[in-house]
């Protein structure tokens, strides 16, 4: 089955034209609190709302250079999605793009029928779902969302291992370090064109860029659409009016996620992440 739809791609492009009352680079956000203590509460709530921590011991981040593959969209429009992903990588401030011919670890598939595509993947390539928890697996096939995704993580021993002998090292777990790091190895993102119809391609690309570098909740994120690009599908306003870019909250989350220590327990990471977010927002 072919999922590349030139007419759909053209429709997205046409709908991506900026409405008269919105400048291309406008970013509408909920105003952060001026008092540092209140801002920290806001950022901590943001972290708890969007982060997928189910069955996770830590927040995962990419360590390897990213490599993007896009399917189901006319190649003429791939550049827009790639540009948004590169922009998000720059915000994360530690992500490099792999050279041409690389093995994809960010796969974006657009399909006119997301449910049919998911069923086809389940039957033809069931191994790609092997590492997904049962809750996540069920969510992927029952959620009926415009965009659905899943990540593959890998646990690595942290760099602070204790040598046992010449060939053996024991993770240095402590109250400070968990002794392990969780690497985000790959992400598959499925865009249901029928359900996403009417949203600007630029908006969808920004949404994709956010979930490409962070393990975001796949279930409906209960967040205001003016606060985060992740709230895009929660809004009752016209789809054409969706945000085109990551908000300052989104950028702060990505920037802070790649700043915090990778080998800390989850509770420490959440606190450090919210603190780093608050600092980024104050400076930007």
Q: pLDDT digits over 196-217, tens only?
A: 999 999 999 999 999 999 999 8
Flag whether 238 is in a domain. Answer: yes
Per the domain annotation, does 242 fall within a domain?
A: yes
pLDDT of residue 179: 65
Q: Is 1 exposed, middle or buried (0-12, 13-18, 19+ CB in 10 A)?
A: exposed
The token pair at 57 is 């011991």
pLDDT digits (tens, 9 = 90+) for 109-150: 999 999 999 999 999 998 888 888 788 888 888 877 899 999
Sign of CA dihedral 6, 8, 14, 18: negative
d(CA 86, CA 77): 15
The owner of tokens 């985060």 is 228
Look at residue 103 in the predicted model and tell me its pLDDT.
96
If DSSP states are collapsed to H, E and C, what string results for the chain? CCCCCHHHHHHHHHHCCCCCCCCCCCCCCCCCCCCHHHHHHHHHHHHHHHECCCCCCCCCECCCCECEEEECCCHHHHHHHHHHHHHHHHHHCCCCECCCCCCCCEEEEEECCHHHHHHHHHHHCHHHHCCCCHHHHHHHHHCCCCEEEEEEEEEEECCCCEECCCCCEECCCCCCCCCEEEEEEEEEEEEEHHHHCCCCHHHHHHHHHHHHCCCECCCCCCCCCCCCHHHHHHCCCCHHHCCCCCCHHHHHHHHHHCCCCCCCCHHHHHHHHHHHHHHHHHHC
Residues of the chain predicted below pLDDT 50:
1-29, 162-169, 173
* Residue 97: per-residue pLDDT: 94
- Whether 26 maps to a domain, the answer reads no
**Predicted local confidence at residue 220, as pLDDT:** 65
The reply to whether 100 falls in a domain is yes
Work out the percent of the chain whose per-residue pLDDT is above 90: 52
Q: What is the pLDDT of residue 136?
A: 83
Rounded to two decimals, the pTM is 0.81
> Which domain, by its residues, includes 78?
6-10+60-164+172-250
Whole-number pLDDT of residue 155: 77
What pLDDT is stored for residue 195 in this prediction? Answer: 93
Q: Is residue 271 in a domain? A: no
**Inter-residue contact 70 to 81 (CB < 8 Å):** yes
Residue 149 lies in a domain: yes
Q: d(Cα 158, Cα 84) in Å, to the nearest integer?
A: 31
- Judged on CB neighbours under 10 Å (0-12, 13-18, 19+), 239 is middle
Q: How many separate domains does the chain show?
A: 1
Let me know if residue 130 belongs to a domain: yes
**Residue 27 confidence (pLDDT):** 37
Residue 101 included in any domain: yes
Unique residue bearing structure tokens 């598939």: 109
CA–CA distance, 87 with 210 (Å, rounded to integer) = 10
């Amino acid at each position: 089955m072919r999922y590349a739809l030139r007419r759909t791609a053209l429709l997205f492009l046409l709908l991506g034209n900026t409405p008269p009352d919105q400048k291309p680079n406008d970013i509408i956000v909920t105003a952060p609190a001026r008092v540092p203590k209140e801002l920290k509460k806001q950022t901590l709530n943001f972290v708890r709302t969007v982060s997928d921590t189910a069955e996770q011991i830590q927040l995962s981040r990419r360590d390897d250079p990213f490599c993007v593959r896009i399917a189901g969209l006319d190649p003429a429009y791939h550049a827009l999605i790639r540009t948004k992903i590169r922009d998000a990588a720059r915000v994360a401030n530690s992500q490099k793009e792999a050279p041409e011919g690389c093995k994809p670890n960010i796969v974006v598939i657009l399909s006119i029928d997301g449910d049919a595509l998911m069923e086809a993947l389940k039957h033809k390539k069931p191994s790609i779902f092997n590492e997904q928890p049962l809750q996540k697996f069920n969510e992927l096939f029952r959620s009926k969302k415009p965009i659905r995704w899943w990540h593959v993580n890998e646990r690595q021993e942290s760099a602070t291992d204790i040598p046992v002998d010449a060939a053996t090292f024991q993770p240095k777990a402590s109250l400070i370090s968990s002794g392990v790091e969780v690497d985000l190895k790959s992400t598959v993102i499925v865009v249901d064109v029928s359900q996403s119809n009417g949203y600007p391609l630029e908006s969808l690309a920004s949404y994709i860029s956010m979930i490409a570098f962070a393990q975001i909740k796949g279930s409906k994120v209960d967040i205001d659409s003016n606060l985060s690009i992740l709230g895009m599908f929660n809004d009752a306003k016209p789809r054409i009016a969706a945000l085109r870019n990551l908000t300052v909250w989104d950028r702060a989350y990505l920037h802070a996620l790649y700043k915090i220590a990778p080998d800390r327990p989850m509770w420490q990471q959440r606190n450090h992440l919210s603190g780093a977010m608050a600092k980024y927002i104050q400076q930007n």
